[in-house]
Amino acid sequence: MRLHSSQREAVNPVGFADKPREKALGILHRAETGAFVDILIDQARRIFDDRDSAFILELVYGTLRNRRRIDWIVDLFSAQPIALTDLWTRNILRLGVYQLLFLDRVPVSAIVNTATELAKTYGKKSGYVNGLLRNLDRKRTTITYPGPEDPIRQLSILHSHPDWLVKRWIEQFGKERTESLLQKNNLPAPLIIRTNVLKATRDELKVSLILAGAEVTETRYSPIGLQVSSSPGIQRLSAYMQGLFMIQDQAAQLIGMMLRPSPGEVVLDACAAPGGKATHLAEMMKNHGTLIALEKDFDRLTKIRENSKRLGLTIIIPRFQDASRYQKGSFDKILIDAPCSGLGVLRRHPDGRWNKTERIIKERRKIQELILENCSRLLKPGGALVYATCTTELEENENVLTTFLSGTGKEFTVEDARSFLPPAAANLVDEKGFFHSYPLAPEMDGFFGARLRKRK
C-alpha cells in the first residue's frame, strides 16, 4: 500500500516509509519515550494489510517481552553498553537480535541487511549494527547468562522483567512460582470475547463465528465467554458489527458478575473506559435501569459511547468526571475498577514493565483509597459495591480494603465472592472471600476483586 506524503506524516511520526520493520522500529522508539504501544499498534493496523500488521505486532511485542535479555546479549558483543548508544540504534539492534534469536522463519541475511539499511537513516551507525549482528550470528552458541547465585538478576535477565518487580514477586510468591509467572507473562495473551446475551446465546455466537471461518472454544470460568484462536479479522466479522460480542478477558467478565446488578437498578461504574465492564453490567440489567459511567479522560469517553452503540445498549450515561470527587446521585450497586499499577496484565501490555517503577504502587494506592472512600458514600444502605484491580500487589488490593474497613468503611462487610460467581470460578476465591486470578492459568489475566455490602 502506498500513502500520500500527508498521510504518511500523520501516521508515522518520524516520516519513514510504510514498511513493517520500519513501522515496528518507530513504535519501539516512541514506546521508550512514554507512548502507549496499544494505540500505536492500532494505528498501524489501519495502514497495513493483515499480514504486515501481524508481523509488526510480532516484532514489537516480541522485542518488548524479551528486551532485558536482548540488552544483556548485545552488551556481550558490544564494546559499549547498549544503554549508552542512541535511542534509534538501540532499538534497531533490539529488533535485529529478536529476529535472529527468537524467530526461525526470517533469513539471517534479510535481518542483517534490513537493520543495516535502517541504521543508515536512523542513528547513523550502520557499520556498528552490521558488525554486531553478524558477529552475534556466528557466535550465538557462546551466549551465557547469570547463574542461580543471584536469583533476582538471573530471572530478570532470562525472562526480561525489571529487577524491582522480580524481587517483589519472589518475596510474595517464592522463586518457583515467580519464575512460572514470568514465563506466562512472555506468552501471547489469549483473545477472549464476551457474548452479548441480549442478542445471542454463547452457543449461537459460537456457531456464527465458526461459520464465518473463526476457530473458537468455550471458556472454562465464564459461561458466556469464548476464546478465539484464529479468525478472518475480529472486527470485520459480521457478529462483531452486529454487536453480538465484546472483547473482554475472562477475569474482567467475572468481576462484572460479582456485582450482579438487576434490571431497573441505578448503577455506577466509577472508572469506566473503554466500557467493557459498563456494557457487561448493562447487559445483566437487560438494558433496563440507569448506569452512570464515569471517566476523567475526556478522549476515552468516545470508546464508551462507541461500544454502547454497537452493542445496542441505551441505559449507559457517560460522564466526564473524577470518581474520587463525584458526588451526584444515590446508587443500588457500584463498581470500582480502580486505576492501578496494572501488574496483572503485563502479558497484554509488555511495554508496561519498562514504563513503570515501584513508586507507581504507592501512587495508585492513594488514588484507590480516595475513590473507594468517595464512592462508598454514594451507595444506598443495603447496596453492594465491588472493588477490583488488575494488579497482583497486596498494597493495592487487600491493604486498601483493610484500611477502608477499619476507618470510613466500618458500615461495610465483605461478602464471599463465591456466592456471586459461576461454580467453575469458586476455586479462584480465597478464605477471606476475595477473588484472585493470575496469568499462571494461561487463559486468565491477573485480577483482584472484593464484594462489599453496606449495612442497612
Please tell me whether the peptide bond between 274 and the residue prior to it is cis, using omega within 30 degrees of 0: yes
Which phi and psi angles does 73 have, rounded to 5°? -65, -45
CA 72 from centre of chain: 26
The answer to whether 308 touches 298, Cβ cutoff 8 Å, is no
Instruction: Examine the residue annotation and report whether 390 is marked as an active-site residue of this protein.
Output: yes
CA gap 266, 330 in Å, rounded: 8
Contact 9, 15 (CB under 8 A): yes
The Cα–Cα gap between 440 and 203 comes to: 28
**Residue with grid cell 460467581, as numbered in its chain:** 421
Residue ranges of alpha helices (H) inside 212-329 are 238-241, 250-259, 276-284, 301-311
Residue 74 · residue 101 · CB < 8 Å = no
361 CB contacts (<8 Å, ≥6 apart)? 341, 391, 393, 395, 396
Cα separation of 248 and 10, whole Å? 30
| Residue 247, Cβ density class (10 Å: 0-12 exposed, 13-18 middle, ≥19 buried) | middle
* CA–CA separation, 418 and 375 (whole Å): 24
Among residues 145, 139, 126, the alpha carbon closest in space to that of 88 is found at 126
Q: Which of 355, 325, 324 is nearest to 342 (CA)?
A: 355
Query: Using CA atoms, how far apart are residues 271 and 210, in angstroms rounded to an integer?
Result: 34
Q: Strand 215-218's sheet: what is its strand order?
A: 215-218, 225-230, 191-195, 245-247
Contacts of 132 (CB under 8 A, 6+ apart): 74, 77, 78, 93
CB count in 10 Å sphere of residue 387: 30
Catalytic residue among 271, 340, 375, 390: 390
Give the C-alpha separation, 163 to 146, whole Å. Answer: 13
Cα separation of 422 and 255, whole Å?
11
Residue positions annotated with a catalytic role = 390
